[in-house]
Amino acid sequence: MQKIVAIGDCNTLGAGRCEKRGYPEKVAERLGAEIVNRGHTMATSREGIHLLKEEVVKADCVLIQFGLVDSYKTFKYSPYVLYYPDNFIRKNLRALTKKYKKICRNQGLNKIIGEVNVVPAEEYEHNIRSMVELASPRKVVLIDTVPNKQLERNGEIQRYNGILDSIAADYPFCTRVKLYADFIDGLDTLYADPTHCNNEGYEKIAEKIVTILGN
């Protein structure tokens, strides 16, 4: 295996002191491979398609981990502005969107009118399938979103992780890395904060990926 491309959100990028020192780099080091880490803070599967299109030709293997932001519940009528590819206009639109969502939350509109996932489950499945098909016939590894210390988020995280099972079953070159059970038992030891893994957490993810890719 010569080159691995990792596509995902902040836990793929690596948070804080672990930025570009997370599980993608640990996997590459153990397998003697080159790594291209295209994790992106706040990215959803929508950004993932753009990120993978730019890198897939370089890949022998693709790691995909989205769901943390996709599954998050937000005000029903909140607009979404892509984080990648980015530009000045999008940055300003995101700032306005954050103010809008804060006003709605403070006014109690989230409870009155309702909340939806940032990326609906049906769209999430479509986006992940699109990435898997872009990567074909290369080896693809679909990686769980780890549970959150804000426990109310975990029902949706589990639901989105379950979507990955049905996708992996449909493609012979695609496999799964399941992390949820390990990390729900490691909430006190595997996290740097309520959302992001620490070095020990990234070691655990890397160990599971290497076990699969090494077979």
Name the band, by pLDDT with cuts 50, 70 and 90, for residue 23: very high
- Predicted model pTM: 0.93
Find the distance separating the first CA and the last CA of the chain, reported in whole Å. Answer: 12
Tell me the C-alpha distance between 33 and 3, whole Å.
6
Does the domain spanning 3-72+118-213 belong to CATH 2.40.110.10? no
Closest CA to 130 of 118, 140, 117: 140
Tally of CB atoms within 10 A around 171: 16
pLDDT score, position 1: 59
pLDDT score, position 134: 96
**Average predicted confidence (pLDDT) for the chain:** 94
Q: Where exactly are the structural domains of the chain?
A: 3-72+118-213, 75-117
Name the band, by pLDDT with cuts 50, 70 and 90, for residue 83: confident
182 in Cβ contact with 92 (< 8 Å): no
pLDDT of residue 215 exceeding 70: no
Q: Which residue has the tokens 């993932």?
A: 48
pLDDT digit string, tens, across residues 71-81: 999 988 888 88
Closest CA to 118 of 90, 146, 77: 77
